[in-house]
Structures are given as structure tokens and as C-alpha cells.
Amino acid sequence: MKSRIYILGLVLLSFFSGKAQQLPQYTQYMLNEMAINPAVAGKEDYTDVRSNNRYQWVGITDSPRTYMLTANGPIKGKNMGLGMHLYTDIVGPTRRTGLNFAYAYHIKVKEDMFVSMGLSAGILQWGIDGSKLILHDEGDANLLTSYKTKIVPDFGTGVYFYKKNRYYVGVAVPQIYEAPINIYVDKQSNSKIVRHFNINGAYKFDIGDDFKVEPSFVMKYAKPAPLVIDLSVRGIYQEQVWLGVGYRSWIVNGVNSEAFTAMVGYMYKDYLMFGYSYDFCTTNIKKYSTGTHEIMLGLRFSRKQASTWEAKK
């Protein structure tokens, strides 16, 4: 019960003050760039479907859970791509469900080097379950009602520069339109979705014929929330098996908070991908939680694979 009250307190503080980033946090960001930047859509010559499922602060009742599905692929014969990003982020009594569709245009700079520009548009539903709230002020009893929701439009944009199978760097602005989300009767409430700024990048270094090392990063900022920086490095063997470690840092009220991560993954026959990560929390939450688990599944579809499968029938 103590841990339930603790997590609800954290959720309400961030929800009403706007001092927390609103978009989902996940560790294997380098394996699902479509969730970061719409300009990624159509980057590869195959259709790519990926799912991230994150269970944060295991051991705490009503702790954050995130379920995410993305898909993107090229438009045949065009320098364009289409994509989709669907997610549900559950934090205590609050639930955010977003659905966005993306379009990207890719310009070839020179051999295997491209710059792309992307746009996304969709909807975002915010909801709060009043039955899960624990309040000390009886004047706030209007919150203790049935589940309430608010649907608002959601737009984003991004730019992405990359060399295939070598490096990339991108800048994205999700939730560019700060739509109001006044769920409650209180007209003085000024809650809204907040514009975010994301920068991410990675570079693959060849270490012999079979090994590669890939450092990567993502920086996320949404005023007035603190800047969050993720740094990771993966060791990759024959483009099939990888091990990695990561570090996340953010500063709140002058105090540095951090988390350390570990990850492992496997690519089966170049079309089926599995990834797992574990976050070691170093904040006071570690007194109540055993850590954070994240599972990533990926599936690639290409015309070449389809022809091969058809021939085997």
C-alpha cells in the first residue's frame, strides 16, 4: 500500500505540474527510430514492423507500462516513405494513447547518403481513472469519478541525415501543437500537451570482419521538464547477436538522477528480431522496485523475401 501511495504521488505531481516529459520512455530507442522521428519512414527497402513493451519499476503497484507498435516502409518507385506509430502509456491513474501516421521524403546526397524530411499527424487521447486517486483534500472530490478522457490532435515533424548501415543523426519535434487537455470541470486548469525536442544519432564501427561496435544517443527535452540524455553502446556479432549497456541521466532541482541499462538481442535470418533490456534504477525508487524490463520484437517484410517464400511453397 505504501508503494501504491508513493507512485500515485509521483504521477499526480508530474501530471498536474507538467514537470515530466509526456512521451513514453524506453531503453532500446536505437532499435525503433520510427517512434522518435517521422523522417525515418521509408529509410530501408523493406517494410519494418516493431513493438516495444516496457514494464517500469516492477514491484510497485500501478507503475508505468508502455506498449508501442510502429510500422514503416518505402513507396515503390518513389523517394518517399509512409509510417505509423501507435502507443499506450499507462502511469498510475493516467493513460495516454496516441496514433500517428507519418510521411517522409528522402533526398540522395551522394552514394548511400541521404537526407529526409518527415511529417506526422494523428490523435492523442488522455484519460484518468478517478477510482485510483488517493486525495487528502475533500474539495477535490470531483476527481473521484468514473474514467474521464480527452482527445486532441497531434502533429510532429523531423529531419534525418543518414548513410545506410553506417551512421545517422536526426532532429524531431513531436507534439508540435500544444493542444489543451482540460479533462476536469475546473476552468482554471491550463493542462496541455507539451512540445518536445528530440536529437538522436549512432555510428557503426567495424572491428574486423565479424564484429561491429555501435555507440548511440538520444537527447529529449520538453519545457519545463529536465533534459534527459541516454547514452548506449552495442557490440554486434555478424549482424545477428548483440550485447549492450547504457546510461540515462537527468537533473531535477539540482540533483542528478541516473539509471544504468543492459541489453541483449538476436536477429533471425534477417527478418525476425528480438531484444531485451533491463534498467537498474539508482534513485530512491529502488527501495520499492526490482527494476525495469523492456521487450522488443521486430519483423521485416521485403519483396525479395516474399519471392523466396513463394518459391518454397
List Cβ neighbours of 99 (8 Å cut-off, separation of 6 or more): 84, 85, 86, 122, 123
pTM of the model: 0.85
Site of grid cell 502511469? 91
Residues facing residue 102 across a β-bridge: 83, 120
Instruction: Determine whether domain 2-311 maps to CATH 3.40.50.300.
Output: no
What tens-digit pLDDT sequence spans the chain (313 residues)?
A: 444 444 444 444 444 444 566 788 899 999 999 999 999 999 999 999 999 999 988 888 888 999 999 999 999 889 999 999 999 999 888 899 999 999 999 999 988 899 999 999 999 998 887 766 666 555 555 555 567 889 999 999 999 999 999 999 999 999 999 998 877 655 555 688 899 999 999 999 999 999 999 999 999 999 888 899 999 999 999 999 999 999 999 876 666 678 899 999 999 998 899 999 999 977 777 778 888 999 999 999 875 554 443 344 3
- Give the closest residue to 246 by CA, choosing from 24, 35, 13, 30: 30
Q: How far is CA 124 from CA 23, 71, 89, 98, 174, in A?
A: 11, 18, 11, 4, 12
Residue 165: how many other CB atoms lie within 10 Å: 10
- Give the closest residue to 200 by CA, choosing from 79, 57, 9, 39: 39
Burial group, residue 25, by CB count within 10 angstroms (0-12, 13-18, 19+): buried
